[in-house]
Amino acid sequence: MDPARLRELLDGVRRGATSIEDALGELKDLPFADLGYAAVDHHRALRQGAPEVVLGEGKTAAQIVGIAQELARTRQNVLVTRLDAPKAREVCAGVPQMAYAELARVATLELAPIAPLGTRPVALVSAGTSDLPVAEECAETLRMLGAGVERVYDVGVAGIHRLFHKRDAFERASVVIVVAGMEGALPSVVGGLVAGPVIAVPTSVGYGAALGGLTALAGMLSSCASGVVVCNIDNGFGAACAAARILRARERY
C-alpha cells in the first residue's frame, strides 16, 4: 500500500464513506503477506516511497508470477529486475498486463499513478553502447520511481569531445548517473564538470584485465573527483534507487 492509497482510505473512514471493517480488510496484510516461498513486503511503499522490487534472477517464473500477483492485488506497481527473455515470456503469460523491456531485462506492471519525483531530470550517461543493458535497467527503474531521465549515451573517454558536446544536459540535471566499464574513467571526468551529485556504476564490460568490472570499480572508488559515489558492478537498479533517495530528501527538506 502506498501513502496516497492509505490517505484515501483513512479519509474515507473519516468521512464515513468507508467502514472500519472495510478499512481493516485492506490493512490486514500489513506489514507483509507470507506466500511460503516469499514474504511480500506491503509496508515498503509507506516506509520508502516505492513498493518492493522483485529480483528475477534465481527465482522461478512461477514464484515471480505469485509475488507480482500479490503486489498487484493491493494495486501496487510491480518492477521485476534481472529477468531473462525466456523466463519473461512465462511471467508475461502469467501476468498478461506485464510489459517487458528486453535490453534492460526488466518487467513492469503499472497499476497506480506514478507521482513525479523532482522537477529536473536525472542525466543518465553511458560510456559505450555495450554498457546499455545496465544503463537501461537504471532508466526503467527511474521511470517507475517517477524520475525523469535524459539519456547521454556512448560518450566515453576514448572520444571525450562527444561528452563535452552534451554539457547542457548536465546543466539541466538534478543528479548524474554515469555507467562505464573498461577502466572506468568517465565518472571522474563528469565529476570534474558538474556541481551536483554524481553516482558511478561500474560495468563488467571489458577485456581480460578489466576483471569483470573490478578494474572499473577500483578506478571509480579511487576517483580524483571529490564526492563521486559508487554502486556495485552492473547495479543500474541500485544507482536509480540512490538517485531517488536524493530527490526525495530534497522534496522533504
The 10s digit of each residue's pLDDT in 70-80 is: 888 888 899 99
CATH number of this structure's domain 122-252, picked from the four choices 1.10.760.10, 3.40.50.1970, 1.20.120.450, 3.40.50.300: 3.40.50.1970
The 10s digit of each residue's pLDDT in 156-177 is: 888 888 888 888 888 899 999 9
Q: Give the residue-averaged pLDDT of 95-105.
A: 95
Predicted pLDDT at 1: 54
Q: 39 has which bridge partners?
A: 34
Helices (H) and strands (E) counted in the chain, each on its own, are 11, 11
- Three-class SS state of 117: coil
Predicted pLDDT at 5: 67
Q: Give the residue-averaged pLDDT of 134-145.
A: 96
d(CA 44, CA 49): 7
Predicted pLDDT at 36: 78
d(CA 51, CA 43): 8
- Grid coordinates standing for 90? 512465462
Rg (CA), the chain: 20
List the chain domain ranges: 3-109, 122-252
